[in-house]
Copies of this chain bind each other. A is one copy, B any other.
């Protein structure tokens, strides 16, 4: 069995090249000044080939997020089946953050900041997260007991992903300190861990 044949490696390279070109050009020129054709040209493929990989330039821009979230699914599967669900999610999120922190170079941060100005992209960012939401919920189903497992696993998946998304957005906008701290604070706001001093929520 092949780890990765030439075919697969070429496809992955093309996909990545398209993603990077899309993000870079959108940051440099502004989203609406960049055509799909320009992205394809920058990645040395035809416009038609772009469509074979992504259904829109926005999807191409957020491909990196998709990859990272799929990696998080693996990190979840690697954990013992009898852990508390939220513990599993938190650990996976923190491990992922540490893993990819190096790849989040200043260039990446700057590009994401510029791209952020386009309000329409918010929806597509969220869309990337929603794509894996069902897979994540399916993974959590096995780790829940009690009634309403279907609903509750979906709620857990959705809230966890929403929390990570917001933490990332906040860090992109105001990166004071490590991303990991921000993710921990965000996760703690949803599920205060015993031992971590929970934040005061509300006057009084």
A17 within 8 A of B: no
Considering only CB atoms and an 8 Å cut-off, how many residues of chain A contact the other chain? 47
CB proximity of A193 to chain B, nearest CB, Å: 14
Q: Are B126 and A122 in contact (CB under 8 A)?
A: no
Residues of chain B within 8 A (CB-CB) of A148 are: 185, 199
Which B-chain residue is minimally distant from A165 (CB atoms)?
B158
Residues of chain B within 8 A (CB-CB) of A158 are: 162-163, 165-166
Q: Are A201 and B123 in contact (CB under 8 A)?
A: no
Question: In the complex the two chains form, what is the Cα distance from A162 to B166 in whole Å?
Answer: 12
Kindly identify which residue among B151, B156, B189, B200 contacts A155, using a CB–CB cutoff of 8 Å.
Answer: B189
Q: A151-B185, A152-B185 are in contact. Are A203 and B159 (CB under 8 A)?
A: no
Give 28 CB contacts A-B under 8 Å. Answer: A82-B203, A84-B201, A84-B202, A85-B201, A122-B130, A123-B126, A123-B130, A126-B127, A126-B130, A143-B203, A144-B199, A144-B202, A145-B203, A148-B185, A150-B174, A151-B170, A151-B182, A151-B185, A152-B185, A152-B186, A152-B189, A152-B199, A155-B167, A155-B186, A155-B189, A156-B190, A158-B166, A161-B162
Task: State the 9 A-B residue pairs at the shortest beta-carbon distance, nearest first.
Answer: A123-B127, A158-B162, A162-B162, A146-B200, A146-B199, A159-B159, A158-B166, A152-B189, A155-B189
